[in-house]
Amino acid sequence: MARGVSTKLLTKLPEQYSADWLERIDKRTKIWRALLPRIQRLEEDAGGADSMTHAKQSICRRAAFLELLCETQELRFTAGEPADVGAYTQAFNSMVGAYRLLGVERRQRPARTLRAVMSGSAAPAAGAA
């Protein structure tokens, strides 16, 4: 069944858009308190934010949002409220795709050598991962 043209989605960035909006969001909001632990867990599973590329960090953020979207739809469904199955399926499939890009298995954080710890260096040992 065709859904027609969506009137909900923006076709251009808002006037006040800033790429660092997530860092600037009010940390007291429910959305931040729901997103931050998800992002942190995904980054930890990928070996820690320090060892991730910008692209992987970006994928973690998007995956966390998609996970939140899926859970919101699931809560609506279990509460007996109308749920958009198409939107849920699309968000779920997108989330799975993001997880695949990240790699769904946990990765060990790069370890520092004893020499690095003793010297106060923050750099992980070469070849450690």
Question: Is the sign of the CA dihedral 53, 59, 63, 66 positive or negative?
Answer: positive
Tokens of 107: 């990765």
**How many domains does the chain contain in total?**
1
Task: Decide: 125 and 116 in contact? Cβ < 8 Å.
Answer: yes
- Residue 113's pLDDT is 85
3 in a structural domain = no
Q: Which pLDDT tens digit goes with each residue over 62-107?
A: 999 999 999 999 999 999 998 889 999 999 999 999 999 998 776 6
pLDDT at 10 > cutoff 70? no
- Residue 81's pLDDT is 94
| 20-28 long-range contacts, CB within 8 A, separation 24+ | 22/61
16 in a structural domain = no
124 in a structural domain = no
Task: Decide: 15 and 44 in contact? Cβ < 8 Å.
Answer: no
116 confidence band (pLDDT: 50, 70, 90): confident
- Residue 75's pLDDT is 93
Residue keyed to tokens 């003793």: 118
35 in a structural domain = yes
20 in a structural domain = no
Q: Which pLDDT tens digit goes with each residue over 25-47?
A: 888 889 888 999 999 999 998 88
32 in a structural domain = yes
48 in a structural domain = yes
Considering the entire predicted model, what is its pTM? 0.66
Distance between CA atoms of residues 20 and 24, nearest Å: 7
Question: Is the sign of the CA dihedral 29, 35, 40, 41 positive or negative?
Answer: positive
Domain that holds residue 62: 27-119
